[in-house]
Chains A and B, each alone.
Chain A
Amino acid sequence: MKTTPKTFKATGTFEHAGTTYKKGDTVPPGRTLDFLTRVRPDLIEGAKPPKVDD
């Protein structure tokens, strides 16, 4: 059964590592997506917020 990879979209306008993303742009898998998911999940639709240590 094929699964469709989840796409992540920008929720704002930002620039990382030389690339600018606008709201609605797809952020491809890679270091920018990893970085944003970790430090600015609010800029990625559907990204999980970082785990909060107890």
Chain B
Amino acid sequence: MADAHLMVDPLITIDPGGPNELQLKCHGRNLSLVPEDNLEDVETFCAPGLEQPGTTTWTSSISLLQSFGADGAWNLLHAMRKTRKTILIQPTDAAGTPAVGNPTATFEAFLPSVPFVDAGIGEKTEFDFELTAIGEPVFATA
């Protein structure tokens, strides 16, 4: 049995290979890409209460610390708000080269607008960067 994966050095790239390529790893500290199977009601007289999986919606959330500057999270993400981009995620950063033990997930999503500031005295601004995949991601293993 494979060892549990402990996330230490993930790859989180927006627009990989594109003009707006952005690595989010050093801005973030929590990462998710999770599916939700939408259940369709298919009950009949012979199968009361029956539901079966229909479409699947994939959402990604990245907890980001706000920063400002030429490579600040706000400057970079605000400039790309409401645009459709490709997102590449890999459990362990191998520059996007897939492997059975380190697959890649690639999907498209519209980038949300991001908060500017949201903090008290002496506190950081932390926010969840929420992405909803358009269609389903492609998972590459080799």
Contact = CB atoms under 8 A, between A and B. Distances in A.
Interface of A: 12-18, 23, 31-32, 35-36, 38-40, 43, 49-50, 52-54
Given A18-B136, A39-B86, 10 more contacts: A12-B142, A14-B98, A14-B142, A16-B139, A35-B138, A39-B106, A40-B106, A43-B140, A50-B18, A53-B18
Given A35-B135, A39-B108, A40-B106, A14 B86 contact: no
Interface residues of B, number: 16
25 contacts: A12-B140, A13-B98, A14-B98, A14-B138, A14-B139, A14-B142, A15-B141, A16-B137, A16-B138, A16-B139, A17-B135, A23-B142, A31-B135, A35-B135, A35-B138, A38-B86, A39-B86, A39-B106, A39-B107, A43-B138, A43-B140, A49-B17, A50-B18, A52-B18, A52-B19
